[in-house]
Amino acid sequence: MTPLLDLSHLKASIRDIPNFPKEGILFRDITPVLQDASLFSSVIDAFAAEMSKYEIDLIIGIESRGFIFSPALAYKMKKGFVPVRKKGKLPCETKQVSYSLEYGEAVLEIHRDALKPGMRVVIIDDLLATGGTAQAAAQLVEELGGKVELFVFMVELAFLKGRDKLGTHEVFSLIKYGD
């Protein structure tokens, strides 16, 4: 990891928003990190340093906050970017999967022609909670013949054990709550 990233400063910059998006949920708000150009750049650099340990062909970003990091990393690492979006947001023929979230149900989609069999990918999102969203994205990649090399998250809610749902895949997160 890059020595330029102060993890205590990063963690202190993440706001806690109680009862959002619904009662009983403590939301970890990363927008203060995004507003700090130096801190945001350091997060991108730390992600890139970790990702450089793997041979990858594409960067997959999960809607919506995964889109914040993924294109910046695709640019920095000179890789393509593929969005995994909520149902009905992609214009071409898609493959979809239904999954459970910590507070509901959802459907994710990817374009059927987004990757070729054998392509190695990194899947990025802002936060790992129960692992349902990341697992669904991996399922889509694997059904198209891709191989997930690594999951990357800024925040991991370790007490929800989402990492367990990702099986044997490699997982990298900068900040963990509830270790």
The torsion angle over the Cα atoms of residues 91, 142, 74 and 99, rounded to 10 degrees, is 60
Residue 105 is a catalytic residue: no
| Catalytic site residue from 15, 102, 142, 143 | 102
Residue 102 is a catalytic residue: yes
Q: Give the C-alpha separation, 109 to 98, whole Å.
A: 9
Which H or E run includes 34?
A: helix 31-35
Report the candidate in 76, 59, 22, 42 with the shortest Cα–Cα distance to residue 150. Answer: 59
| Catalytic site residue from 65, 109, 149, 156 | 65
Contact status, residue 121 vs residue 142, Cβ threshold 8 Å = no
Write out the catalytic residue numbers: 65, 102
